[in-house]
Amino acid sequence: MNTLFLHCRPGFEGEVCAEMADIAAQLEVPGYPKSKPGSACAEFVCSEAEGAERLMRQTRFNRLIFPRQWARGAFVSLPESDRISVLLEALADYPVCGSLWLEVLDTNEGKELSTFCKKFEAPLRKALLKAGKLVEDAKKPRLLLTFKSGREVFAGIAEADNLAMWPMGIARLKFPREAPSRSTLKLEEAWHHFIPREQWDQRLAPGMTAVDLGAAPGGWTWQLVNREIRVTAVDNGPMAESLMYSGFVVHQRADGFTFRPRHPVHWMVCDIVEKPARTAAMMEAWLGEGLCREAVVNLKLPMKQRYAEVRRLLDRVEAGLAERGMKVSIGCKQLYHDREEVTCHLRRLGK
């Protein structure tokens, strides 16, 4: 149980390794990361028996940037037939779990394996229930079985309140037909990730005000308008007409980096493709000058040292806001709908 197994977007294995090595060093958990490029997963192998458990206990999964899912455990080799008996034997030392997820990696092989997983799940669940390894209990750990092939599975566990909210960390959101662009799902996913569902009515309430920087054609503005939030959409490009008819949107043809609202707003959102350092400085200014209470900002990733550079920028924003005496919570995640980018969330705390 001393390996931490992590899913990620294919191509970001190195970032997961860098991030986990950084966190493990801070927590003084000895071990090393490993991954294969394009595999959509990485491991952090702890050299102490309880290392992976300590890493997970002392880290909130939601605070991680690049991992999409995690679990601690070990690989199990499976035979051609009677996989269930072999799995039950391998799980003998695992705690009784409260739920079960069968997962695959976000690769072409993974997609092919998902049909196998769907067929395998019912008989496996039945066998686990019968063996007393699985009970219906939301408080007990979740058993996460990631199939790398029909012959190899990572059998892991994670605390039910400290893992991805969707299987494989993939947000399955329905594209709203009326939204003017597919980008709309990025903002919706960000809200799911950064705002607990029970707080949506209070923090994304009708009548609130927002500025959308780099708004055209309006996918993000659509999400805000859908919650009856009044939006100033800043972009030199055209907004979708349907949105303009809603009566909730004012279009300003202006530069998003110099635009300032006349009155502070509840929300600032920004999806401009720009150098990450410039975008980070802009989000610091908005929060620092009290121009908004919360922000969702897309940060394009640099070409190299992507984890180190994002970390450096976030630390700089945090330090800059602290110098101004501001208390701000800062989150950052590579969402499922993000590509070569990550999404930041900032929220001013207190008055």
Which positions are annotated as active-site residues?
300
Residues 177-216 close enough to bind ligand SAM by CB under 6 A: 180-181, 183-184, 213-216
| Total of residues contacting ligand SAM (CB under 6 A) | 22
- Beta carbons of 17 and 42 less than 8 angstroms apart: yes
Residue in 31, 110, 156, 219 binding ligand SAM, rule: CB under 6 A = 219
Rounded Cα distance between 208 and 216, Å, is 20
Shorter beta-carbon distance to ligand SAM: residue 45 or 254:
254
By CB under 6 A, tell whether 326 contacts ligand SAM: no
By CB under 6 A, tell whether 141 contacts ligand SAM: no
Stretch of 73-81, 249-257, 276-284, 323-331 contacting ligand SAM, by CB under 6 A:
249-257
Stretch of 24-32, 34-42, 268-276, 315-323 contacting ligand SAM, by CB under 6 A:
268-276
DSSP symbols for 214-267: T-TT-HHHHHHHHTT-EEEEE-SSPPPHHHHHTSSEEEE-S-TTT---SS-EEE
Question: In Å, how far from its chain's centre is CA 150?
Answer: 28
Count of beta carbons in the 10 Å neighbourhood of residue 67: 27
- Beta carbons of 134 and 125 less than 8 angstroms apart: yes
- Closest distance of CB 154 from ligand SAM, Å: 36
By CB under 6 A, tell whether 246 contacts ligand SAM: no
Shorter beta-carbon distance to ligand SAM: residue 6 or 215:
215
Stretch of 23-31, 38-46, 128-136, 218-226 contacting ligand SAM, by CB under 6 A:
218-226
By CB under 6 A, tell whether 343 contacts ligand SAM: no
- Beta carbons of 100 and 167 less than 8 angstroms apart: no
Question: In Å, how far from its chain's centre is CA 84?
Answer: 32
By CB under 6 A, tell whether 95 contacts ligand SAM: no
By CB under 6 A, tell whether 267 contacts ligand SAM: no
Cis peptide before 217 (omega within 30 of 0): yes
Residue in 11, 95, 123, 237 binding ligand SAM, rule: CB under 6 A = 237
Residues 269-298 close enough to bind ligand SAM by CB under 6 A: 271-273
By CB under 6 A, tell whether 235 contacts ligand SAM: yes
Phi, psi dihedral angles at 35 (to 5 degrees) = -165, 165
Q: Is 342 helix (H, G, I), strand (E, B) or coil?
A: strand
Return the exposure string of 128-137: e unless at least 16 CB atoms fall within 10 Å of the residue's CB, then b. beeeebbeee
Tokens coding 111: 């997609």
- Closest distance of CB 66 from ligand SAM, Å: 21
Count of beta carbons in the 10 Å neighbourhood of residue 266: 18
By CB under 6 A, tell whether 256 contacts ligand SAM: yes
Shorter beta-carbon distance to ligand SAM: residue 187 or 321:
187
Interface with ligand SAM (CB under 6 A) = 180-181, 183-184, 213-220, 234-237, 255-257, 271-273
